[in-house]
Amino acid sequence: MSKLPAEVARLLFREGELVSYASPFVLADGKTTVFPSNTTRGGEFFQLNPIKEAKQNKQAALDNVAAYRNLLLEFDHTSLGRQARKVRSSRLPYATMTYSGGKSYHFIVALSEDVGPERYDYYARMLVHMFGEASPDARVINPNRLTRTPGAIRSSNEALQELIELGHRTTPDNFENWAFDYNLERLVEFKRARALEARLRAERLSRQNPEALRPISPRWQALIDTGTLPIDVPTRHDALVRLGVYLRGGGYASGQIEALLTQAQEAMGLERDDVPGIMEFLERAR
């Protein structure tokens, strides 16, 4: 039976804490797999957080969790290469990265202090949500979740559950700062993708109707190119609205208007996306 490597145990648990291990066992029917727990002998799996008591019928119970520190991220339907690229590029401050011996990597974030059940639940759900497009396993939000023991052999295929990377603990504040920064980066990427999509759509329209691309007056061209507001326009949002009205009056196609508004919004550094609302207003005002 395999136990956690010493360096992993020191990172995820404190001295004297009980670690619950489990290994799959197939019942006599040949179909049902159970995971009897054992805190001393080791196993193919270990419980993510420490436990209070080492009793056979209570060990894996949710109310037997002694501390709420370790968060788990694993994936179900994404290639190994994409899993690694996605998590590493996000700069998630994970403590361990372990190959499951099958189709996934398991990433554990080790918080430096116990955050309690409510805050833990919030962190765990947030972590899954933030990687939603990569199909993470949503069941990992439970603090008593089992995860693969690095160094153990996976019984289903005799593959090594290999420890790939060993990192450090992170404070709750650092974890929250990472989450804020990562969400901000995703928002910027989303806006850039929308702007590119609008420009490509405008280019297609212009090829279909070259006459629709007429010169724009210098005061509005400066807004589109550099974000410079005309003297008589009080706010950036007002400038976008007036630019939309100007373009609509000039006979520009909807795709071209949306593309130019998006370009102007980026040039002005607006954090919110006003373009959909302005386009809706222009359509109603036709």
Of 65-79, 103-117, 151-165, 204-218, the poorest mean pLDDT is in 204-218
Q: Are residues 162 and 207 in the same domain?
A: no
- Determine the pLDDT at residue 57: 62
Beta strands in the chain (DSSP E): 21-22, 25-26, 33-34, 37-38, 45-47, 70-74, 96-99, 105-110, 146-148, 153-154, 159-160, 163-166
CA atoms within 13 A on the CB side of 266: 18
Confidence label for 143 from pLDDT (cuts 50, 70 and 90): very high
Type of residue found at 90: S
185-205 pLDDT tens trace: 766 666 666 666 666 666 665
Residue 73 burial (CB < 10 Å; 0-12/13-18/19+)?
Answer: buried
Q: CA 95, CA 252: separation in Å to the nearest integer?
A: 54
Q: Are residues 154 and 37 in the same domain?
A: yes
Q: Which domain holds residue 217?
A: 193-284
For residue 64, what is the DSSP state?
A: G
Percentage of residues in the chain having pLDDT higher than 90: 35
For the chain, the domain total comes to: 2
In a domain, 186, yes or no: no
Checking if the pLDDT of 211 tops 60, the result is no
Confidence label for 60 from pLDDT (cuts 50, 70 and 90): confident
In a domain, 176, yes or no: no
Q: Are residues 19 and 61 in the same domain?
A: yes
Checking if the pLDDT of 9 tops 70, the result is yes
Q: Residues 60-80: what's their mean pLDDT?
A: 89
Q: Are residues 123 and 259 in the same domain?
A: no
233-270 pLDDT tens trace: 888 888 888 888 888 877 777 888 888 888 888 888 88
DSSP string, 137-193: -GGGGSTT-EEEPTTPEETTTTEE--EEEE---B-HHHHHHHHHHHHHHHHHHHHHH
Q: CA 51, CA 66: separation in Å to the nearest integer?
A: 5
Residue 56 burial (CB < 10 Å; 0-12/13-18/19+)?
Answer: exposed
CATH number at residue 143: 3.30.70.1790
Q: Are residues 206 and 164 in the same domain?
A: no
- Determine the pLDDT at residue 272: 74
- Determine the pLDDT at residue 250: 75
Q: Name the pTM for this structure.
A: 0.65
Q: CA 150, CA 248: separation in Å to the nearest integer?
A: 62
The answer to whether residues 52 and 65 touch, using CB atoms and an 8 Å cutoff, is yes
Q: Are residues 96 and 131 in the same domain?
A: yes
Confidence label for 81 from pLDDT (cuts 50, 70 and 90): very high
Average pLDDT over the chain, rounded to whole?
84
Decide which of 27 and 66 is more confident: 66
Strands 37-38 vs 21-22: parallel, antiparallel or unpaired = antiparallel
Strands 105-110 vs 70-74: parallel, antiparallel or unpaired = antiparallel
Q: Are residues 166 and 202 in the same domain?
A: no
Q: Are residues 214 and 110 in the same domain?
A: no
